[in-house]
Chain A
Amino acid sequence: MAAGTAWFKVPGAIRFVLNGALEGWATGKDLILSIIGAIGVDGALYRSMEFDGPGVATLSMDERFTVANMAIEAGAKNGIFAVDERTRAWAVAVSPRSFKEYAADPDAEYERTIAIDLASVEPQVAFPHLPSNARPAAEAGETPIDQVVIGSCTNGRIEDLRAAAFLLKGRSVAPGVRCIVIPATQRVYQQAVREGLVEAFIEAGAVVSTPTCGPCLGGHMGILAAGERAVATTNRNFVGRMGHPGSEVYLASPAAAAACAVTGRIVDPGKIAAAPPRGYFETSAKA
């Protein structure tokens, strides 16, 4: 700010063309975990990840935010989506400020173009100790766990909490498992209270925290001891990330994490309930 200018290394771009629509319990989190699993934690190193194609329209804004949030876990400088009607409706709903739209040039050059069939994305779990160690949750071997963290900047939006509450309501967190729910913002927290989600979490035996980075980076609350295993909807699972260097973090969607909390094992959310129709958890533009 003192100089009025800043230095930048201009990134190359990778284009992800999304086709079709996600199905069942697959979410934006599963999409980005499967992408990172395919291209690696440096697969988009210092690049821009651009998401477009007809499949974008099928993704909620909350899902797009999760994908963009985790672009850095593929090494990217940023993750951006083509603007569409949903983006505009969201922007009008959240802020009175006017906005300017940017679009890729028609002749934009891409280092790589990767086509993705959204219907092929399954609920994922990224095994320790890299976000790229993703594999289908159904193939995770029902590994026993000690803790579940649902929320954070990556997956603490209202739609995430609705999905988690859908699976936890009327069920209980497995004995011996700690389940911590952390809304991303005070606004999400208030909405979760109004919608009865917080009550559902508490009745299921989870604890609900004020928004905080908290356990995501081993800061406070839910710090893992040696040998402990957590399923988290956060963004990273490096060695020692949530506590002791001998602990383990598995990354998953809020629905998958909630299913793990109920069973005390790493499972596909379809194991405990059928997925509601796509769009069921989506925030309305009026929210």
Chain B
Amino acid sequence: MEQGCRVWKYGDNVDTDVIVPARYLTTGDPVELAAHCMEDIDPRFAAGVLRGDIIVAGENFGCGSSREHAPVAIKASGVSCVIAKSFARIFYRNAINIGLAILECPEAAEDTRSGDRLTVDFESGEIRNLSRGARYRAVPFPPFVRNIMTAGGLIPYIRGKLLKPGAHLGVGQGGD
């Protein structure tokens, strides 16, 4: 039977200062950043998070400072996806560009509680809450955004394209 991924639930306006406090920005090492991920909002997170876990939050997730360390820390902590009612725009771009999977889904965010088990289908946008027997529908990202996330971010994505002889490089064009 499908197990799904375990949820860590947070509220509205989770800012990048609590996702990774500036006092740890002396390093860019993802593993070190992950050790302090969510420290100022949930000291249990970094020690308790398991590979594949999902963060679910309310409105405006990732607001505040533009620090790329925030999605990097979440990704390095093993989180497989962040689902929120909405994302702050710089975090939204940073997450996609460093290859952290995110989805906007107000219904799922409203319904889901810490410890619930979810499955996510990025292609269709379907989120299933196995603990509550519920299904939610997020608007899936266009294929080029999914490709950037799957490639692990914009840099590996572009690098992969550069290695293909004769391939055009445009982001979000053609059959991308």
Residues on A facing B (Cβ under 8 Å): 2-7, 9, 11, 41-42, 45-46, 72-73, 75-77, 130, 217-219, 223, 236, 238-241, 243, 245
Given that A42-B63, A236-B64 are known contacts, is A4 also in contact with B169, CB under 8 Å in the complex?
yes
Distance between A204 CB and nearest chain B CB, rounded to angstroms: 29
Which one of A6, A72, A236, A239 contacts B40 once the chains associate, using CB atoms below 8 Å? A239
Give the docked Cα–Cα distance between A241 and B22 (Å): 7
Number of A-B pairs, beta carbon distance below 8 Å: 84
A75 touches B63 (CB 8 A): yes
A245 touches B40 (CB 8 A): yes
Distance between B173 CB and nearest chain A CB, rounded to angstroms: 7
Residues on B facing A (Cβ under 8 Å): 12-13, 15, 17-18, 21-23, 25, 40-41, 59-60, 63-65, 86, 88-90, 92-93, 144-145, 148, 158, 161-162, 169-173
Cross-chain pairs A/B with CB under 8 angstroms, 14 sampled: A3-B158, A5-B169, A5-B172, A7-B171, A9-B93, A46-B89, A73-B64, A217-B25, A218-B21, A236-B65, A238-B17, A238-B64, A240-B17, A245-B40
| Chain B residues with CB below 8 A from A45, complex form | 59-60, 86, 88-89
Given that A5-B173, A75-B88 are known contacts, is A240 also in contact with B18, CB under 8 Å in the complex?
yes
| Chain B residues with CB below 8 A from A243, complex form | 23
| Chain A residues with CB below 8 A from B15, complex form | 236, 238-239
Q: Is the interface of A mostly helix, strand, loop or mixed?
A: loop
Considering the complex, give the chain B residue whose CB is closest to the CB of A245. B40
Given that A239-B40, A245-B40 are known contacts, is A5 also in contact with B22, CB under 8 Å in the complex?
no
| Chain B residues with CB below 8 A from A219, complex form | 22, 25
Give the docked Cα–Cα distance between A217 and B20 (Å): 11
Distance between A244 CB and nearest chain B CB, rounded to angstroms: 9
B158 touches A2 (CB 8 A): yes
B89 touches A77 (CB 8 A): yes
Give the docked Cα–Cα distance between A76 and B92 (Å): 12
A241 touches B13 (CB 8 A): no
* Known contacts A238-B64, A240-B18, then 6 further A-B pairs from the complex at CB < 8 Å, ordered by chain A residue: A41-B13, A42-B88, A75-B60, A75-B63, A236-B15, A236-B65
A42 touches B13 (CB 8 A): yes
| Chain A residues with CB below 8 A from B17, complex form | 217, 236, 238-241
